[in-house]
Amino acid sequence: MKNLFISLFLLAVVATTQGQTAHLSITPAHPKPGESVRFEYDISKSPLQNAQEPIEVTAIEFAGKTPAVVDLMLQYTGGKITGSFTPSADAQVAMLGFQAGERWDNNSGEGHFISLSDASGKPMPQRWAAQAVLYRDWGGLFELNRKTTAALELLSRAFAAKPDLRQQYFAPYINNLMAVKRGDAGKVEAQVLLEEVEKAPNLEEKDWITMARLYDRLSVAEKANSIREKIRKNYPKGVFVRQERRQAIRNEPDLTKQEAMIETYLKDFPPANDTEQDEVNEAYFALGNKAAEKKNWDLLNKIAGRMQADSRASLYNNVAWELAENGEEMEKARKMAAEATEWAKSEMIAPKEAKPSYKSDKSWEQDRKYTFSQYADTYAYVLDKLNDPNTAAAYQAQVVEISKGENADMNERYTAYLERTGAPDLRYRLEGFILHGQATAAMKDQFKRLFAAEDKSAAGTDAYLAGLEKMARINQKKSLAAKMISQPAPGFALKNLKGEEVSLESMKGKVVVLDFWATWCGPCKASFPGMQQAQNKFKDDPNVQFLFIDTWERVEDKAKAAGDFIQSKGYPFHVLLDLEDKVVASFGVSGIPTKFVVDQNGKIRFKSVGYSGSPDALVDELTAMIELAKEQP
């Protein structure tokens, strides 16, 4: 009965992701590639109806390789957005995304997809496969759910309608299959498909490489090695042989030999395009890092001179930070950081690098600003170490502006530089960071010191800081409320470390925090002290439950690995075992740690990916999320 429900749910998802919704209409009903597509978006009926920021629209198409952003003609009138775009002649599926600030209307995470039809007006079967890849592999561009179960259903429908698509899309099918069907059932089906594809007459090197990797994943090493031998023989100057040569270069510990190996590589494989030039830069980058570790500055300079500007800037940024952290060769660090920052600034203002096809102008601009902020952060760090806090603060001010103050560590460096410059308004700047929940513990101590210096008592200082922190929680809650989602949480029943079955259904009436993690995941484990603080905060609340779902384990005895780790650290966590990785797939998790906050009615209200590094920030964020989830009717 459970399997039937899942299938029906997936079909419902597929049926509702074809563009048309109550607030979005698409014409014509069955558009064709190369034909103008028109849409009307009713803001008053949309999830963005109360947005304060302008609503931006992005259209993207997919033709089987890499997505491409499509130019839009837009008009904003009468509370509606109307627009049009023309998919390319070889497009298989398109998608619209609507964004206001950090909020998305992405059809509840399933995407506003537009299926395309052939010349006769019949839906193209390949649209399902293209949609699956765009949804699962590229869905992060639109913050989609990226559920492997939904992607597998789409691919299955495509294969059923047009079996020869199995060869073109075998890799995404098997990747999703193995995420949904763990164990022998999935492995057998995957091998059958691989054996079928291997017989195809028109395979390219990339197909053989993919098959070898998939056989590795299926633990069929003999077959994987056999295919690699075939690749070496049939493509002696191909991608795989070049990869092996570069790996050998990276593994060579002797710098002189490594340099000579790169020169030989260039003679054997002279780069013929940008991709192959990037491969050479990759080898130079590895050698440059090793040269820096060995303090071989002549070699580093020689290698850097042979690199393209973007790779050289990245290398210089890495080396400069390491030198500054260790307080070594500070003048060299300054020169390298300065060059990297100047290159990033130039690219930010007037880019020479080409825009990736899948990036909108806005996201590309954000990427360039982000790169500049990373390099400028390093440069400021170096300058402060060289007793130039004024220039350091000027650069760090740009860093904080670009990051919108969302990186607390960068904020901490900024206020430290400002204090060394004697900035008269530092106390008030610190107040701003605290009010927005963007201050570290060190910044709060810094504030207390400055506040107390104004002849304030210790009690008065603590009370004032407590008031700021209270306002910060109110502001954070308001900000999170604007980002709250409403999606049904997939049901599940898993066993805990005691062998007892625990279902999400049994938690109905409670707010449930789900934390997907694994014993090999560094950020997951780094977040656990903060998670323990959060759990302790609500330990006496019978209406809040924390569940830690161990998943994606890479060892044979997964339960033992999880249990041993939890016991060794003494964490009082309720751990559930997703031994077949089915629950993580049903929730569309693409990276861990990922946390979900589910309200008392079984709806996902928040999804949080990654870990910022601050236990206090994690506790504050989860507290606000839990409180908001509790308030839902």
pLDDT tens column, 558-614? 999 999 999 999 999 999 999 988 898 888 887 899 999 999 999 999 999 888 778
Residue type, 594: T
Residue type, 534: A
**CA diameter of the chain:** 84
Task: Note the CATH number of domain 487-630.
Answer: 3.40.30.10
Contact between 577 and 550 under an 8 Å Cβ cutoff? The reply is: yes
User: What pLDDT, on the 0 to 100 scale, is given for residue 20?
Assistant: 66
User: What pLDDT, on the 0 to 100 scale, is given for residue 75?
Assistant: 94
Report the first-to-last Cα separation within the chain, whole angstroms. Answer: 30
Structure tokens at 522: 């560094």
With 0-12 / 13-18 / 19 or more C-beta atoms within 10 angstroms meaning exposed / middle / buried, residue 628 is buried
User: Could you name the CATH architecture of 2-162?
Assistant: Sandwich (2.60)
Residue 15 has pLDDT above 50, yes or no: no
Mean pLDDT calculated for residue range 510-516: 97
Q: How many CA atoms lie within 13 A of 134 on its CB side?
A: 32
User: What pLDDT, on the 0 to 100 scale, is given for residue 103?
Assistant: 84
Residue 17 has pLDDT above 50, yes or no: no
Residues β-bridged to residue 56: 99
SS3 string of 429-472?
Answer: HHHHHHHCCCCCHHHHHHHHHHHHCCCCCHHHHHHHHHHHHHHH
**pLDDT, tens digit, 9 for 90 and up, residues 381-415:** 999 999 999 999 999 999 999 999 988 899 999 99
**pLDDT, tens digit, 9 for 90 and up, residues 53-62:** 899 999 999 9
Mean pLDDT calculated for residue range 226-231: 97
Q: Which residue in 588, 591, 489 sits closest to 547, CA to CA? A: 489
Q: What global pTM score does this model have? A: 0.81
Q: Which residue in 436, 317, 295, 304 sits closest to 370, CA to CA? A: 317
Structure tokens at 64: 């089987």
As a whole number of angstroms, the distance between CA 510 and CA 534 comes to: 16
As a whole number of angstroms, the distance between CA 625 and CA 546 comes to: 13
As a whole number of angstroms, the distance between CA 515 and CA 598 comes to: 11
User: What pLDDT, on the 0 to 100 scale, is given for residue 283?
Assistant: 94
Contact between 339 and 345 under an 8 Å Cβ cutoff? The reply is: no
The secondary element (H helix, E strand) that includes residue 413 is helix 408-421
Binned at pLDDT 50, 70 and 90, residue 39 comes out as very high
Q: Which residue in 602, 603, 588, 432 sits closest to 109, CA to CA? A: 588
Structure tokens at 16: 């509702």
The sheet carrying 493-496 orders its strands as 487-488, 603-609, 594-598, 511-517, 544-550, 575-577, 493-496, 501-503
Mean pLDDT calculated for residue range 109-132: 91
